[in-house]
Amino acid sequence: MATQEGAVRTFDLSLVTPEGAAFEGEAEMLIVPGAAGEIGILARHAPLVAMLKAGEIRVKAGGQWQAFAAGPGYFKVQQDRALVLVDDAVRAEEIDVEEARRELAEARALLERVDAGEAEIDRWQLEQRLRHAENKLAVAGRD
């Protein structure tokens, strides 16, 4: 953590998915999609635990912003350490826009079949797939 006078303070951040860490290191600022709105975190933030909805997670590290399209999850801040646990996180520059558009079209088509009674699929899971595809397109800037 930076402690020099005038230096930017940082905190330890782990952005973790079931597949592993999407980001691990020192951050200057973190913005996550809380269930009731965005939550911004700087060094020395008060302890906090919150649920996250699918959305964009932004990390400022080394003076540069990085964006991730993330699924729902949980978030914890304690003593200059933040832990973000989400079901998926994809860096904005790694999003395959065409694949995300296909995922969105498939999810919408399946949802229509479920609504018409033609398919027996878990509606909640399907809605999560739909939101995640929409989120990837929004974060990539091509919604």
pTM of the model: 0.83
The mean per-residue pLDDT over the stretch 1-19 comes to: 80
The residue with tokens 């933040």 is: 82
The residue with tokens 């939101």 is: 131
Q: What is the pLDDT of residues 65-113, one digit of tens each?
A: 999 999 889 999 998 999 999 999 999 999 999 999 999 999 999 989 8
Where does the pLDDT of residue 126 fall: very low under 50, low under 70, confident under 90, or very high at 90 and above?
confident
- Report d(CA 126, CA 137) in Å as an integer: 17
Question: Is residue 125's pLDDT more than 90?
Answer: no
Residue 18 identity (one-letter amino acid):
P
Q: What is the pLDDT of residues 21-58, one digit of tens each?
A: 999 999 999 999 998 899 999 999 999 999 998 899 99
Contacts of 124 (CB under 8 A, 6+ apart): none
**CB-CB contact of 1 with 80 (8 Å):** yes
- Write down the CATH number for the domain with range 11-92: 2.60.15.10
Contacts of 73 (CB under 8 A, 6+ apart): 51, 52, 84, 85, 86, 87
Q: What is the pLDDT of residue 143?
A: 53
Q: What are the phi and psi torsion angles at 36 (to 5°)?
A: -105, 5
- Report d(CA 97, CA 93) in Å as an integer: 10
